[in-house]
Amino acid sequence: MRNEDHIVSRMIAGDTDAFKLLFDHYYPQVRTFASRIVQDSFVANDIAQNVFIKVWTKRVLIDSAQKFSNYLYAMTKNEITDYFRSIVVSEPLDGLLAAKDGEHTEGTIESAYDLRYIRETVMKAIETMPPQRRAVFVMSRLQGLSNNEIATKLGLSKRTVERHLNIALRLLRERLGDL
């Protein structure tokens, strides 16, 4: 993009036309990057929109000396990480654990993001859980069983199942918080 530094400076100063130029230029790249990682076009659109909302609302914090595409990459990576954290907390991990390795393309915003590291972090955390907690977590988040179903299968009380899940999710949040 020609005169990108000047356009970024104008956007930082509050110029909506400059923001629109940056949005029109970078939105497709951000959306494509997010889509390749999360494997869901609707989620990728949400992530890309969130990135640009934050660009606009936090524009005064942007370092104009930094390359704008690097700034966008970092923001996009953070949004994707937040999305995966929300999956760990609220949905089965199928999408995260089944994500394909090597989805990087060189020379674009995608080049540095390593989804494999997130998946490995989650798997290592699961492997460190005591056997019963790991079984409860896998049944809940990977197999999609309800707490009552897990309690019946393992001969535990529903409250014990809930306690194991809470501890497991806290561990995963702590581990993913380092990303």
Q: Which CATH number fits the domain that encloses residue 139?
A: 1.10.10.10
Q: Residue 141 carries which DSSP code?
A: I
What is the mean pLDDT of the segment spanning 30-49? Answer: 89
Instruction: Identify the residue with better confidence: 47 or 98.
Output: 47
Domain identity same for 88 and 143: no
In a domain, 121, yes or no: no
Is the pTM here over 0.85, yes or no? no
Domain identity same for 78 and 14: yes
Domain boundary among 113, 143, 163: 113
Instruction: Give the structural domain span for 34.
Output: 4-92+105-113
- Report the amino acid identity of residue 79: E
Token pair in block for residue 147: 């707490």
Domain identity same for 84 and 16: yes
Instruction: Identify the residue with better confidence: 49 or 97.
Output: 49
DSSP result, 39-62: --HHHHHHHHHHHHHHHHHTGGG-
What is the mean pLDDT of the segment spanning 159-179? Answer: 84
What is the mean pLDDT of the segment spanning 4-19? Answer: 93
* Amino acid 108: pLDDT: 42
Q: Is 52 a residue whose pLDDT tops 90?
A: yes
Contact 138, 126 (CB under 8 A): yes
Distance CA(125)–CA(93), nearest Å, equals 13
* Amino acid 113: pLDDT: 47
Of 95, 90, 85, 161, the C-alpha closest to 125 is 85
Domain identity same for 141 and 77: no
pLDDT by residue (tens digit) across 127-155? 888 889 988 988 888 778 899 999 998 89
Domain identity same for 66 and 154: no
- CATH number at 67 reads 1.10.1740.10
What is the mean pLDDT of the segment spanning 13-38? Answer: 93
Domain identity same for 26 and 109: yes
Domain identity same for 83 and 18: yes
In a domain, 154, yes or no: yes
In a domain, 118, yes or no: no
Distance CA(24)–CA(171), nearest Å, equals 40
Domain identity same for 11 and 87: yes
pLDDT by residue (tens digit) across 87-131? 654 444 444 444 444 444 444 444 444 566 677 777 788 888 888
Distance CA(9)–CA(13), nearest Å, equals 6
pLDDT by residue (tens digit) across 62-87? 988 889 999 999 899 888 887 777 66
Distance CA(159)–CA(148), nearest Å, equals 9
Backbone φ, ψ for residue 108 (5° rounding): -125, -175
The chain-wide mean pLDDT, for the chain, equals: 81
Domain count for the chain, please give it. Answer: 2
Domain boundary among 65, 81, 113: 113
* Amino acid 88: pLDDT: 58
Domain identity same for 109 and 145: no
Q: Is 53 a residue whose pLDDT tops 90?
A: yes
In a domain, 123, yes or no: no
